[in-house]
């Protein structure tokens, strides 16, 4: 039985206060909070289990290596990958995408090639491609986002043609919470011989994802949005593609043999992972995956949808609020983006902050998408497994306060 | 102390609702743009100079109440003053808000005190100083 009140007891930070008021944390889309199981794993590792991995001949190092690699095996299961070695460890989604751009992209993208993104991409899945396109003389095209906040697929056949080498799109929007229909795009891309990178920064933590069934070529995500530590993330790639990718960072761990003249490189996954990684974070990430698996992403998703529906209902009741997101609740994750009419998002954020309520305000690292929507920014409340209806009630009370302070300028 | 007393004083809301000197000056000598890219505050200042004097000033922009109210107050205060006097007011305000130094504001400048509430909200300080930094840039050019 899914019980957010029970779950909350595993998250010590949710018992703390902010500005003297009980913390109402509604910013999990930026970074989730951590259960004590994850924190304990980090503490235990440094107290009892720490040694560098992949090198020591002694038991301590071997045990640390085993535990670290256990996370890789767990990840392959969690996301239904074919094997563990195709889960490449990075510092997060941003580094995962940069890895593809720098390694695969520089080797495969040529002048005149097309890279297809969507209009709602966050800067992490936009800037690396712009950098690559500029270097190579490639062209970037965008799949539009329609009035219903879903990908507009009506012009897909024109956008994805034989010059397209890569399609890099999001599984779920961090701004509107839309869970996108990506299968037709993946099929279309493959039909012209293009690869697909799916950005799972928001999706991985909310949507049960089967990578083999989805048939994506790359998948990128971060641990810290799914109850895990910061500074740790994953790039999944199909084995035959990863095998052909040149190393992108040189150093220890990624070599087979080094002489003064030449270096031969290690096999996957080590070849794409230079240097000593964040070991404690990697080991603790497994605890986060276990935690999510015990509860079940599908259950969590259902809970988030209930909260979203309740939030929208209460906001409509309150009035004077514009919500940016699809009406199709089935296609939504735990995100509600909105503006209090007439009041700037930062003013809303400050007033809520004073009442202990943490939301994100601004452009959400999606400046081009904001420009398309014709707004400077939005307020975003985002939910995860530990949020409750009471959190939503607190938000609504907070918004009443906003309307009171700005009574003179609030528009219906 | 509630936030309404602290940060969102009535005078700020008033300037936000009815910004003074708002709009474009067609025959401006200087047009200076300012922005806080991270939060999306945007500002455009128009200045008409008569030698050392700021004969007329106006602004256009969008952003939070703090950034817009600060711009509105700033234009009111420096209009009709010399560039040197404007710089002095600017320094006074910035020193009060950025260095937390006690300042003796004249009666005319009193409204600026309403903006000092942002000192408690470090992420909002840049909203309050945007108009003043933009003015500083404009005066360097004029």
Question: pLDDT of B67-118, one tens digit each?
Answer: 999 999 999 999 999 999 999 999 999 999 999 888 888 999 999 999 998 8
Burial of B136 (0-12, 13-18, 19+ CB in 10 A): middle
- Under 8 Å between Cβ of A125 and A117: yes
Task: Tell how far CA A152 is from the center of its chain.
Answer: 22
Question: Using omega within 30 degrees of 0 as the cis cutoff, is the peptide bond preceding A269 cis?
Answer: yes
The count of other CB atoms within 10 Å of the CB of residue A298 is 10
Q: How far is CA B124 from CA A3, A8, A25, A224, in A?
A: 38, 31, 20, 27
A and B: number of Cβ contacts within 8 A: 51
- pLDDT score for B2: 55
Q: How far apart are CA B82 and CA B79, in angstroms?
A: 8
What own/partner pairs with CB < 8 Å and gap ≥ 24 does A191-195 have?
A192/A160, A192/A161, A192/A162, A192/A164, A193/A162, A194/A116, A194/A160, A194/A164, A194/A165, A194/A166, A194/A167, A195/A104, A195/A165, A195/A166, A195/A167, A195/A241
- pLDDT score for A325: 95
User: Which of A83, A205, A365, A366 is labelled catalytic?
Assistant: A365
* Closest Cβ opposite residue A409 in set B4, B16, B121: B16
Cβ of A377 within 8 Å of Cβ of B7? The answer is no
Interface residue B31 vs chain A (CB under 8 A): no
Rounded to an integer, the average pLDDT of A291-296 is: 97
Position A233 pLDDT exceeds 60 = yes
Of the pLDDT bands very low, low, confident and very high (cuts 50, 70, 90), residue B1 is very low
A205 counts as catalytic = no
Question: pLDDT of A260-270, one tens digit each?
Answer: 888 888 899 99
Q: CATH number of the domain at B65, please.
A: 3.90.1010.10
- pLDDT score for B101: 87
Does ipTM come in above 0.85? no
Cβ of A370 within 8 Å of Cβ of B40? The answer is yes
Rounded to an integer, the average pLDDT of A405-412 is: 81
Interface residue B62 vs chain A (CB under 8 A): yes
Rounded to an integer, the average pLDDT of A149-158 is: 96
List the beta strands (DSSP E) in chain B: 30-36, 41-50, 53-62
* Closest Cβ opposite residue A346 in set B13, B39, B42: B39
* Closest Cβ opposite residue B40 in set A377, A405, A406: A377
- pLDDT score for B120: 84
- pLDDT score for B74: 97
- Under 8 Å between Cβ of B118 and B55: no
Burial of A48 (0-12, 13-18, 19+ CB in 10 A): exposed
Question: pLDDT of A184-208, one tens digit each?
Answer: 999 999 999 999 999 999 999 999 9
The alpha carbon of residue A71 is apart from the nearest alpha carbon of chain B, in Å, by 36
The alpha carbon of residue B64 is apart from the nearest alpha carbon of chain A, in Å, by 5
Interface residue B124 vs chain A (CB under 8 A): yes
Query: Helix, strand, or coil here: A217?
Result: coil
Of the pLDDT bands very low, low, confident and very high (cuts 50, 70, 90), residue A411 is low
Rounded to an integer, the average pLDDT of A9-35 is: 97
Show the domain range for B134: 3-141
Query: Helix, strand, or coil here: A317?
Result: helix
Helix axes B83-98, B65-78, angle to 10 degrees: 150
The alpha carbon of residue A348 is apart from the nearest alpha carbon of chain B, in Å, by 9
CA dihedral B16, B21, B26, B29 (to 10 degrees): -110
Question: pLDDT of B7-51, one tens digit each?
Answer: 888 899 999 999 999 999 999 999 999 998 877 789 999 999 998
The count of other CB atoms within 10 Å of the CB of residue A14 is 18
Of the pLDDT bands very low, low, confident and very high (cuts 50, 70, 90), residue A32 is very high
- Domains (ranges, CATH) in chain A? 4-27+296-405 (3.90.1150.10), 50-293 (3.40.640.10)
- pLDDT score for A365: 83
- Under 8 Å between Cβ of A220 and A199: yes
Cβ of A346 within 8 Å of Cβ of B13? The answer is no
Whose tokens are 């279309």? That residue is A188
| Count of the separate structural domains present in chain B | 1
Tell me which residue of A229, A242, A169 sits closest to A202, measured CA to CA: A169
- pLDDT score for A412: 57
Question: pLDDT of A326-384, one tens digit each?
Answer: 999 999 999 999 999 999 999 999 999 999 999 999 888 888 888 888 888 899 999 99
Cβ of A406 within 8 Å of Cβ of B64? The answer is no
Cβ of B3 within 8 Å of Cβ of A408? The answer is no
Interface residue B61 vs chain A (CB under 8 A): no
- Under 8 Å between Cβ of A169 and A188: no
Burial of A1 (0-12, 13-18, 19+ CB in 10 A): exposed
Position A302 pLDDT exceeds 70 = yes
Mean pLDDT value across chain A: 95
* Region of poorest pLDDT, from A39-48, A124-133, B8-17: B8-17
Q: How far apart are CA A82 and CA A46, in angstroms?
A: 32
Q: How far apart are CA A6 and CA A316, in angstroms?
A: 30
Whose tokens are 């095209």? That residue is A141
Cβ of A408 within 8 Å of Cβ of B13? The answer is yes
- Under 8 Å between Cβ of A116 and A369: no
- pLDDT score for B139: 93
- Under 8 Å between Cβ of A185 and A156: yes
The alpha carbon of residue B79 is apart from the nearest alpha carbon of chain A, in Å, by 26
Cβ of A350 within 8 Å of Cβ of B124? The answer is yes
Of the pLDDT bands very low, low, confident and very high (cuts 50, 70, 90), residue A18 is very high
Position B3 pLDDT exceeds 60 = no
- pLDDT score for A277: 95
């Amino acid at each position: 039985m899914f019980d957010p009140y029970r779950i909350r007891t595993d998250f010590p930070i949710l018992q703390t206060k902010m500005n003297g008021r009980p913390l109402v944390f509604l910013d999990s889309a930026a970074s989730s909070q951590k259960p004590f199981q994850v924190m304990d794993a980090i503490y235990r590792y440094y107290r009892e289990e720490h040694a560098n991995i992949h090198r020591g001949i002694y038991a301590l190092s071997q045990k640390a290596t085993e535990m670290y690699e256990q996370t890789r095996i767990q990840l392959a299961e969690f996301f239904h990958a074919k094997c563990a070695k195709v889960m490449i460890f990075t510092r997060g989604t941003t580094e995962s995408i940069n890895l593809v751009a720098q390694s695969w992209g520089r080797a495969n993208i040529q002048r005149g090639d097309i890279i297809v993104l969507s209009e709602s991409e966050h800067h992490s899945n936009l800037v690396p491609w712009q950098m690559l396109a500029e270097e190579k003389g490639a062209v970037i095209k965008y799949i539009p986002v329609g009035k219903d906040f879903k990908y507009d697929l009506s012009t897909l056949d024109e956008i994805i043609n034989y010059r397209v080498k890569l399609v890099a799109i999001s599984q779920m929007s961090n701004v509107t919470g839309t869970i996108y229909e990506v299968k037709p795009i993946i099929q279309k891309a493959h039909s012209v011989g293009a690869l697909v990178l799916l950005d799972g920064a928001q999706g991985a933590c909310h949507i049960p994802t089967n990578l083999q069934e989805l048939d994506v070529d790359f998948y990128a995500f971060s641990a810290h949005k799914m109850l895990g530590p910061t500074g740790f993330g994953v790039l999944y790639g199909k084995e035959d593609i990863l095998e052909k990718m040149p190393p992108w960072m040189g150093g220890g761990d990624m070599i087979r043999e080094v002489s003064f003249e030449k270096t031969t490189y290690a096999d996957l996954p080590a070849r794409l992972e230079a240097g000593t990684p964040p070991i404690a974070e990697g080991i603790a990430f497994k605890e986060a995956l276990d935690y999510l698996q015990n509860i079940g992403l599908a259950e969590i998703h259902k809970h988030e949808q209930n909260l979203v529906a309740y939030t929208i209902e209460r906001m409509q009741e309150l009035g004077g609020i514009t919500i940016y997101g699809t009406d199709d609740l089935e296609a939504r994750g735990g995100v509600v983006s909105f503006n209090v009419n007439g009041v700037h998002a930062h003013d809303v954020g400050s007033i809520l902050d004073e009442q202990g309520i943490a939301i994100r305000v601004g452009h959400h690292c999606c400046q081009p998408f904001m420009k398309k929507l014709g707004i400077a920014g939005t307020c975003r409340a985002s939910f995860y497994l530990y949020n409750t209806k009471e959190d939503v009630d607190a938000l609504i009370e907070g918004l009443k306060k906003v309307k009171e302070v700005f009574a003179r300028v609030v528009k219906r | 102390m509630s936030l309404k007393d602290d940060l969102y004083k009535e005078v700020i809301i008033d300037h936000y609702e009815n910004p003074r000197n708002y709009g474009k000056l067609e025959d401006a000598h200087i047009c200076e743009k300012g922005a806080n890219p991270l939060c999306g505050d945007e500002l455009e200042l128009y200045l008409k100079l008569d030698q050392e004097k700021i004969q007329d000033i106006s602004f256009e922009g969008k952003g939070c109440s703090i950034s817009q109210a600060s711009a509105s107050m700033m234009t009111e205060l420096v209009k009709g003053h010399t560039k040197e006097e404007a710089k002095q007011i600017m320094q006074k305000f910035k020193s009060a808000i950025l260095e937390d130094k006690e300042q003796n504001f004249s009666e005319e400048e009193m409204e600026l005190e309403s903006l000092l509430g942002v000192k408690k909200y470090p992420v909002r300080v840049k909203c309050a100083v945007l108009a003043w930094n933009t003015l500083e840039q404009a005066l360097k050019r004029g």
